[in-house]
Amino acid sequence: SKTCLPHLRKSRNPHILNLSPPMNLNPMWFKNHCAYTISKYGMSMCVLGMAEEFRGEVAVNALWPKTAIHTAAMDMLGGSGIEKQCRKTDILADAAYCILTKPKSFTGNFVIDEVLLREEGVKDFDVYAIAPGASHALKEEKKLSGSQHGGAKVNAESAPATSSPVAETFRVIQGAMSEEYVRSTQGVYQFELSGDGGGTWYIDLKTKGGSAGFGQPPVTADVVMNMSSADFVKMFTGKLKPTLAFMSGKLKIKGNMALAIKLEKMLTQLNSKL
């Protein structure tokens, strides 16, 4: 970008496009491949920095696939038959074209190929599949698990402040995770919170080691809870009983009620740490 910048500034509609994912700071995505994650997230941070630095002059965006893309590397890592779970590179090419033909005011975005193409009017995604008709078998790109990719734009404003009461509560929950909690619970909880520090949060007490944080859970949630951020903090600090919150309508629960009750038992043990 440094070398190209003088030439880009002479262009009528200059763009820089990185192939890098929306950032998800869940430690599970650094484990086992820390160097690779650092390299990809380094590119994502460059998008944030350069988009702001060159705002009004050069558009800077990132593009990432929603599903696995069939490449030689995927064949090597995934083995025989993996191509049936992948899409062709054509979907990234089409998404890149959409981005690069937008005005330079479209900048600082973390774009997911399928999300953008749907917004552009594409309805048939079977044409991108290596095995048409097997969309149910497509392999989702791992680094999107837990990240915000419901829309084309994912920026710093979409993530809650790390100092918010909700973020602090989840930080403590993550620190209190233990194999015993995972073994005794075996459930995944998703929280849809409204108000300050809200959004989608999760507690995974099913996957080995457990995890908690902002965004969609790494696996499908067994229980989805809707409530305000303020009531969530009260509930997790012992100031509001989950049963009372549910009965009064402050807490709405969908899914496995038995697992919801298990979470209440865990809260009793966590209250001293929160």
Q: What is the DSSP letter of 263?
A: H
Give the pairing of strands 252-255 and 223-228: antiparallel
Looking at the annotation, which residues are catalytic? Answer: 36
**115 contact partners, CB below 8 Å, separation of at least 6:** 66, 149, 150, 151, 152
CB 43 within 8 Å of CB 92: no
Strand partners, 188: 204
Convert 102-130 to b/e letters by CB count within 10 Å (16 or more is b).
bebebbbbbbbbbbbbeeeebeebeebbb
Q: Give the H or E element holding residue 28.
A: none
Rounded to whole angstroms, the Cα distance separating 198 from 161 reads: 10
What CA–CA distance (Å, rounded) separates 252 from 49? 40
Residues 6+ apart with CB under 8 A from 267: 235, 236, 238, 242
Write b or e for each residue in 11-46: b if 16 or more Cβ atoms lie within 10 A of its Cβ, otherwise e. eeebbbbbebbbbbebebbeeeeeeebeebbeebeb
- Could you give the CA distance from residue 210 to residue 190 in angstroms, rounded to a whole number? 14
